[in-house]
Structure 1
Amino acid sequence: MPLWQYEDITAKVWSLRSCQQMATLLRHVLRVFRESLPHALVSERWAQTALQLGLSCPSRHYAGRSLQVFRLIGVAMTGRNVSDILSRLVETVAEQGEDMQGYVTELLLTLEAAVDSLESHFRPLDYMRDIFKSTPNLNNKDGQQPNGNAYNAGS
């Protein structure tokens, strides 16, 4: 018998009983690993793997469950994580179908968890730099420094 049912978050149902069961199991497994291998960074590695699967897995059910695992582990989000989630959200938000809208809901819940986990030393410029660093129209093409002075060709 499966530990939890094959159920997915949808655009209308944001909370599942199986998520609570999975959270309990995850908490116990992480505690065992933290106590037996304290320097292995199991939480961080597992969270990174879960996020990668959640953003790239072709099965929406497995992708959604991976995003749930990522949220349940509760590691701090990096600017790169937020950028990856936003990119995936842009790719999928307009797609039709109950499973795709459920996946979009999972992405939004993951972004919401990122906002909730922000610490007091949050520096928005760090996040914005990661999000927009590849945007070509933000590059300095006119030779101006951020303070408005022109670059000196001789220096």
Structure 2
Amino acid sequence: MALDFKDNRIEIKGQISEKMEEWLHEAAGELEAHVKRNTKVKTGKTKGSWGNVVDAAKGEAYVGSQDQNAIWEEYGTGEYALNGDGRKGGWYIPIGAGGISEQDANEYGFKIVFGKDGKKFAFTKGKKPRRALFNAFNSKKSAIIRAAEAKMKELGND
């Protein structure tokens, strides 16, 4: 009696890679959308800066923002910095050229003071962390894991 062996490793590995890449794109897209929903909006610049990149060869997905304000929104600044490592005692931001507008200073609730030369400054002790990315990940983590499990269960059903 002859035994016929068929090696399907390459095909199976390809199917696994394909399913994992699909999952990475879905998971990164869902996480990005949730981060955007969590992001505070004034101008929309920070909210619109979130994106995702999938590196299928490494089996990794990244969600992030290149906007500097996203870091401040995530970790806070000054006395409110997440790890307590921010500047203490507050600081002054020039109002006008090279600084912020007086309208923005008022909207943020900054105290407006005058320097020795009569120039206006806004005083702040920092901003509290909003944790848009951290909170999005924590709220989506279980669903992302379940989605990966579901993708793997699809193997062999195609």
TM-score range, shorter chain: under 0.3
| Structure 1 or 2: more helix by fraction | 1
Which structure has greater strand proportion? 2
- What's the TM-score once normalised by structure 2's chain length? 0.26
Q: TM-score by structure 1 length?
A: 0.27
Structure whose CA Rg is larger? 2
